[in-house]
Amino acid sequence: MRIMLVDDDPFSIEKLRARILQLSEQLGTVFEIVSECYSGQSALEQMPLTNPDTVFTDIQMSAVNGIELAKAIQVRSPSVHVVVISAYPMFEYAREAMKANVVEYLLKPVDTAALREVLLKLLDMNRNHSYNRSKEILHGILSGALEGVLENGAVQAIFPFKGYRMLLIQNVEALYDVRLLMPKSDVDFEPMRRELSEHMEKREQCWFLPSDDRKSILLIFGLFDLNPGRFPPLLQATQQCCAREGVLPTIVYSGPFERLEEIRALHKRLFMALSERIGIGKPRAVALEAEFAEPAAQFSATDEKRFVLLLQKRDVPGLKRSISDLFDNWEQQDCTSMIAEINLKRIVHLFEQQYRTSSVSQYKTLETRIEELVDTCRTFGELKEAFFTMLDSAFQFAGEGSGDGDARQLFDKIEMYISSNIGQPLSLQTLTDHFHVSRTVICNLFRDYSHKSYVEYLTSLRMKIAQDLMRDYPKMLNKEIAEIVGYTDQNYFSHVFKTVTEMSPTKYRESLNRPGE
């Protein structure tokens, strides 16, 4: 933590500096005295040059006193914490100090125990602020909004590291259709940060940055030691702490680099590499620079001709055998998710051409459904079963429909469960645990019987109930309605409501009061 001391008495500064450095040694942390100023005016002039995190200032000084200095800092550098020290325990001074957003008010002579408590509080506040500020800067770099300002001294003070490592991690909890997410649950990465800190040196840092589509998570390490030998344990720890329900993620990682400016271009390369390397049920940890052999198409022109003949003959057993053989071959060849998705879409396209039962919009829906299945299935066997179910639903592939009644009954039970628990967290995993079926079974049920993804269905239902409550109980607050339909964040509820209904909750309430609406 970078500290500025301000007092017109050099002896007082000397005593305070000695106590702070003594506590720094006792606490095993770094309290760096970056500037000593003998007037408030001098402190204001030095601040842009020294970039302190905290200012300790006396109150009684000529020209600019401590309260005036604190007020000026609040305007010019609101993130800097101010501690006022005074020999006068006057209420008026304390009240003015609070108005100036002073963190603490200490009395002379400064008690060592009180100073220790204040320093620990400041250290915690500074760490949180520094981390949040550094995260904002990284977001700015990734978006391209901070080009050309990274040489700024304040930015360099926040990123004092010798170098960096970047990892792009598959989000194993991701579901394809997340455009209208269920109640927003910002992932708490703090436990994961604490877990990884055990494998890092003191003052090294890491940042978790989830992608907009939530299908991947960017992890950046700020390191002082770039020795290649220490990275494998860090990589293994990352894969373990990002696992969910025993499923490990695929990770693509960069080599060490020294310039923050590189992260935007590296992120794009990592994104492309991760999409090419994610497998089904086979997590990988792959270096970005590692050679990558482009997988074979796995669905040749010969395969396609054979499929066409089988489709023309309506040879269902032959089609099932051919599709099963393809899945077996893909699993043996370690086919990636991307290649499996491409090939399954080609197969569906052949079905569509031969059966002529689906419109363009329906075909696009089937493509989306394939993407969803590939993302959620954890084995090739599960994907094969889900794909057969989808074909049967879309093209009456099996020609029997004997299990349709059971499926319908299960879907009805799921709908009743959702309606009865609409205000509770209702993740896909919640349903799989309660009904003892796989994620893909539930995804297929919602596509078959509601013609929506699970997330679309749940979000639409919640917004419909919210509209009904606004109409039937006009005095009920939006916050109360949000909680009833399962949203703990009122702002996010308003955002989703506007996305679904094309008007804000306020505008919707106003429309209810207009005649004819």
Answer yes or no: is pLDDT of 167 > 80.
yes
Domain range 407-517, CATH class = mainly alpha
CA angle 438, 441, 445 (to 5 degrees): 145
For position 178, what pLDDT does the model report?
44
Q: In Å, how far are 16, 242, 364 from 275, measured between CA atoms? A: 56, 18, 21
CA-based end-to-end distance of the chain: 60
Confidence of residue 92 (pLDDT cuts 50, 70, 90): low
Q: How confident is the model at residue 316 (pLDDT cuts 50, 70, 90)?
A: confident
Q: HEC states along 263-327? A: HHHHHHHHHHHHHHHCECCCCCEEECCCCCCCCCCCCCHHHHHHHHHHHHHCCHHHHHHHHHHHH
Element (H, E) at 253: strand 251-253
Measured CA to CA, the distance from residue 331 to residue 89 in angstroms comes to: 76
Is pLDDT at 186 greater than 60 in this prediction?
A: no
285 C-beta neighbours (distance < 10 Å), count:
18
Average pLDDT, the chain: 84
Residues 450-483: tens digit of each pLDDT: 888 888 899 999 999 999 999 999 999 999 999 9
Stretch 320-337: mean pLDDT: 89
Which residue type does 453 have? S
Pick the range with the lowest mean pLDDT from 145-159, 206-220, 337-351.
145-159
Instruction: Tell me the two tokens of residue 235.
Output: 């990589």
Asked if the domains 2-126 and 161-287 are classified in one and the same CATH topology, the answer is no
Mean pLDDT, range 153-157, rounded to an integer: 69
Annotated domain spans of the chain: 2-126, 161-287, 293-401, 407-517
Q: Burial level of 326, CB count in 10 A (0-12/13-18/19+)?
A: buried
Alpha-carbon gap, residue 289 to 257, rounded angstroms = 13
Q: 176 pLDDT band (50/70/90 cuts)?
A: very low
How far apart are the C-alpha atoms of 484 and 92, rounded to whole Å?
Answer: 47
Residue 183 has pLDDT above 50, yes or no: no
Cis amide bond preceding 78, omega within 30: no
Give the C-alpha separation, 445 to 462, whole Å: 19
Residues contacting 161, CB < 8 A, separation 6+: 204, 205, 222, 223, 224
What is the distance between the alpha carbons of residues 274 and 217, in angstroms, rounded to a whole number?
11
Pairing of strands 216-223, 205-210: antiparallel
Give yes or no for a contact between 341 and 384, defined as CB atoms under 8 angstroms apart.
no
Joined together, the tokens standing for residue 279 give 């497998």
What is the rounded CA–CA span in Å between residue 231 and residue 234?
5
CA separation for the pair 273, 218 (Å, rounded)? 13
Architecture in CATH of 161-287: 2-Layer Sandwich (3.30)
Place of tokens 């628990």: 421
2-126 adopts what CATH topology?
A: Rossmann fold (3.40.50)
**pLDDT score recorded for residue 253:** 95
Structure tokens at 452: 């929506």
**Secondary element (H or E) of residue 135:** helix 112-143
Q: Which H or E element spans position 431? A: helix 428-435
Neighbouring residues of 319: CB distance < 8 A, sequence distance ≥ 6:
307, 310, 311, 397
- What secondary structure letter does DSSP report for 260? G
